[in-house]
Amino acid sequence: MTETGAPARCPADRLTGLLVCPSCRLPLDGPADGRLTCAACGCGGQRRGDRLHFGGFEETELRDDPLNRIKETVKRRFGRAYPMAIQMVSPVLLRRFVRPFLAGFDLDRQLVADLGSGTNRYDRRILCVDGGVYDNVDLVGDLRTLPLADASLDGIVSVAVLEHVPDPQAHVEEMWRVLKPGGRLLCFVPFMQPFHASPYDYQRYTAPGLAELFGRFEVVGTRVGAGPTSSLVWVLQEWLALVLSFGSTRLYRALVPLMWALSPLKLADHLLARHPAAPVLASGFVIEARRPAG
Ligand SMILES: [Zn+2]
């Protein structure tokens, strides 16, 4: 719904009255077509069609890493089919955690943002935010300086994003700022996963490490988001590509996609991810946390 009670045509329309300058946080005029410039500091963004632009990645950043360059091309060409394709060929079996989390919101009335959505969209009512300009993205910008007023979101989803940023704590602080008191977030980060630039890759987390990162929040729970077989299969694929490429980077890059043939082994995680000791070797963890109401 918009402020007038009429159903919003697109998620960007739901930000009327919530947009602020990403630099000095003064309110920006409503998202009418065209420029959204801060009267105080001159910063701001633009609305083009159904999308708000407030900076984001430079094209060169997305194309520096050779594997990520291929990924970006595929993402743009296949758009929303990309997440489905990744799910199929990926060695990682993600457990069902986003849908059950979203089921706890009334998405017609409550505003939930997917911070770092990539080309994925869980629901047409969700605000997709990303540094990259993909078809589904409603708001392009820096996740550390969102052009959103304090306490403007009811929920946040962040899946496989924080390993790719050099300053995860700054991202978590920004989540705190834009989340309403009582608002909830869901965050997945990897633990045992090989290096994968998108466009960068900086860190991994244990379950206690993840809880520590969200220490300011009330932690509802942490659990295995992807199990031990996913860890093993991905490492095995990379290891085989290394061994069989005899020191050639070109051959290694050609071999990696062939190794995806081993990915179905990940299905063992339907069972193994539930093992009480699965956190020892989990591919990733998911945390649910709440900004305390008081
Ligand atoms: Zn400003």
pLDDT tens sequence across 121-130: 999 999 999 9
At 5 the pLDDT is 54
State yes or no: pLDDT of 40 exceeds 90.
no
37 Cα–ligand 1 center, Å? 8
Ligand 1 centroid–CA 23 distance in Å is 5
- Transcribe 78-120 into DSSP letters: HTTHHHHHHHHH-S--B-S-HHHHHTTS-TTTS-EEEET-TT-
pLDDT digits (tens, 9 = 90+) for 139-149: 999 999 999 99
How far, in Å, from the CA of 25 to the mean position of ligand 1?
6
Structure tokens at 231: 């860890």
CA of 145 relative to ligand 1 center, distance in Å:
12
Find the 87 Cα to ligand 1 centroid distance in Å: 40
Please say if the pLDDT value at position 68 is more than 80: no
20 C-alpha to center of ligand 1: Å? 8
User: CA end-to-end span of the chain, whole Å?
Assistant: 26
Q: How confident is the model at residue 197 (pLDDT cuts 50, 70, 90)?
A: confident
pLDDT band (50, 70, 90) for residue 36:
confident
Q: CA 198, CA 195: separation in Å to the nearest integer? A: 10
Q: Which domains does the chain possess?
A: 1-49 (no CATH), 55-226+284-290 (3.40.50.150)
Measured in angstroms, how far is the CA atom of residue 252 from the centroid of ligand 1?
48
Residue 43 CA to ligand 1 center (angstroms) comes to: 5
In this predicted structure, what is the pLDDT of residue 236?
97
pLDDT of 2 above 60: no
Q: What is the CA radius of gyration of the chain?
A: 20
DSSP assignment of 139-208, as one string?
EEE-TTS-SB-TT-EEEEEEES-GGG-S-HHHHHHHHHHHEEEEEEEEEEEESS-----SS-------HH
Confidence at residue 32, expressed as pLDDT on a 0 to 100 scale: 56
Mean pLDDT of the chain: 91
Rounded Cα distance, 194 and 203, in Å: 11
Phi and psi torsions of 91, nearest 5°: -75, -5
How far is the centre of ligand 1, averaged over its atoms, from the C-alpha of 39 (Å)?
Answer: 7
Instruction: Single out the residue of 219, 209, 177 nearest to residue 284, CA to CA.
Output: 209
Render pLDDT for 148-191 as a digit per residue (tens, 0 to 9).
Answer: 999 999 999 999 999 999 999 999 999 999 999 999 999 999 99
Say if residue 1's pLDDT is above 70.
no
Order of strands, edge to edge, in the sheet holding 127-130? Answer: 34-37, 44-48, 51-54, 139-141, 127-130, 112-115, 153-159, 179-190, 284-290, 218-226
Expressed in angstroms and rounded, the spacing between residue 19 Cα and the centre of ligand 1 is 11
Place of tokens 């602080």: 173
CA of 27 to the centre of ligand 1 (A): 8
Residue 229 · residue 271 · CB < 8 Å = no
